[in-house]
Amino acid sequence: MKILVLGAGAIGGYFGGRLAQAGADLRFLVRERRQAQLRASGLVVKSPHGDFGLPVQALTREQIIAPADLVLLSCKAYDLDDAIATIEPAVGPETTVLPLLNGIAHIERLQAAFGAERVAGGSCQIPATLMADGTVVQLADFHRIVFGLLPQTAPQAEAKLQALLALYQRTPVGVELAPDIMLTLWEKFVGLTTLAAMTCLMRGAVCDILASDEGAALLEETYAACTAVARASGQTPRDAVMAHFKAMFANRGSAVTASMMRDLEAGGRTEGAHIVGDMLARARAAGIDPAALRHAWCHLQTAEQRRLREAHPA
């Protein structure tokens, strides 16, 4: 199975690197600067589960000469259109595209671009960053990837996902081939939206929010609103998953924040539209009280307008 990984940054570099470590027939699709780094130094990963470095094959869009069997798509949601154009030469009639983006809005966009039969569902969890020298650094010890067939995915993609599962089982990465990947994506969407909306709006960690008079109630109301949207969409989160998130949002000692808040405070772009804005639109369409989502989305939009205005002063 020929695998193409879009990008060799924190996500693509780590999960693609683990596949390469397991012996996968894999190439990274990157820009010229990253290609030069990989050719000069190989892929270098620093991890609590063991550092490793290995030579990898890296190519640019212009160097694609044949379709891949599986394309692993790791990008920010605001780069999705560019990512679609970049991988297009590698997507043939038998190719399966496996996105690892947060949220769910990208699924329909990819299906429209490549056909629903070519798109599977996936998600990953890892705290990681790409250093200036090209080293991928895993910041904490958890790393998990889950994937599965969507209702319209071609049945023959099952064999590819089984092969991908087998490859990851040779690595330290926690891996799951989910029987209902759309439910899994919705469960993460609900929890992540709550965390992103509240930590961005309040500019603090869960423990900081819970230390305020109204924090616990707002967290609970926002999670309840997101859960109601999932139910209205026919995707009721499982009890164990709901218990996990409720415990997270009630932990007064938790310093956890969403990566979106860190992007916001760094003055960069965020995935606010793909996560908070999308959930808000779905709540309104279903006639559900959005709780703090409305205020969080206003906060994120305002910050983005300020970022653009200050970057391009009149």
Domain residue extents for the chain: 2-179, 183-311
Confidence of residue 179 (pLDDT cuts 50, 70, 90): very high
> What is the CATH topology of the domain spanning 183-311?
N-(1-d-carboxylethyl)-l-norvaline Dehydrogenase; domain 2 (1.10.1040)
- Residue 141 class from Cβ within 10 Å (0-12 exposed, 13-18 middle, 19+ buried)? exposed
Q: What is the mean pLDDT of residues 159-180?
A: 97
Give whole-number Cα distances, 22 to 35, 54, 97, 141, 213, in Å. Answer: 21, 11, 20, 19, 50
Is 0.85 topped by the overall pTM? yes
For residue 310, what is the DSSP state? H
- Candidates 239, 242, 259; CA nearest to 191 is 242
pLDDT digits (tens, 9 = 90+) for 60-104: 999 999 999 999 999 999 999 999 999 999 999 999 999 999 999
- Residue 301 class from Cβ within 10 Å (0-12 exposed, 13-18 middle, 19+ buried)? middle
Q: What is the mean pLDDT of residues 156-170?
A: 98
Chosen CATH of 2-179 out of 3.40.50.1100, 3.30.420.40, 3.40.50.300, 3.40.50.720: 3.40.50.720
- Candidates 265, 143, 247, 253; CA nearest to 199 is 265
Beta-bridged to residue 137, according to DSSP, are: 46, 129
Beta-bridged to residue 27, according to DSSP, are: 4, 57
Give the Cα separation of 214 and 202 in Å (integer): 11
Q: Give the model's pLDDT for residue 72.
A: 97
pLDDT digits (tens, 9 = 90+) for 207-256: 999 999 999 999 999 999 999 999 999 999 999 999 999 999 999 999 99
Q: Give the model's pLDDT for residue 239.
A: 96
Q: Give the model's pLDDT for residue 131.
A: 92
Res. 314: pLDDT tops 80: no
Q: Which helix (H) or strand (E) holds 225?
A: helix 215-232
Task: Report the chain's C-alpha Rg in angstroms.
Answer: 20
Lookup result for tokens 């869960």: 206
* Dihedral angle sign, alpha carbons of residues 68, 70, 74, 75: positive
Confidence of residue 313 (pLDDT cuts 50, 70, 90): confident
Confidence of residue 26 (pLDDT cuts 50, 70, 90): very high
Q: What is the mean pLDDT of residues 289-308?
A: 96
Contact 102, 73 (CB under 8 A): no
Q: Give the model's pLDDT for residue 312.
A: 85
Give the Cα separation of 215 and 203 in Å (integer): 12
Equal CATH topology for 2-179 and 183-311: no
Q: What is the mean pLDDT of residues 203-209?
A: 97
Confidence of residue 258 (pLDDT cuts 50, 70, 90): very high
Q: Average pLDDT of the chain?
A: 96
DSSP percent split of the chain into helix, strand, coil, nearest 5: 50, 15, 35
Higher pLDDT, 313 or 257: 257
Q: Give the model's pLDDT for residue 79.
A: 94
Q: How many other CB atoms are found less than 10 A from the CB of residue 213?
A: 7
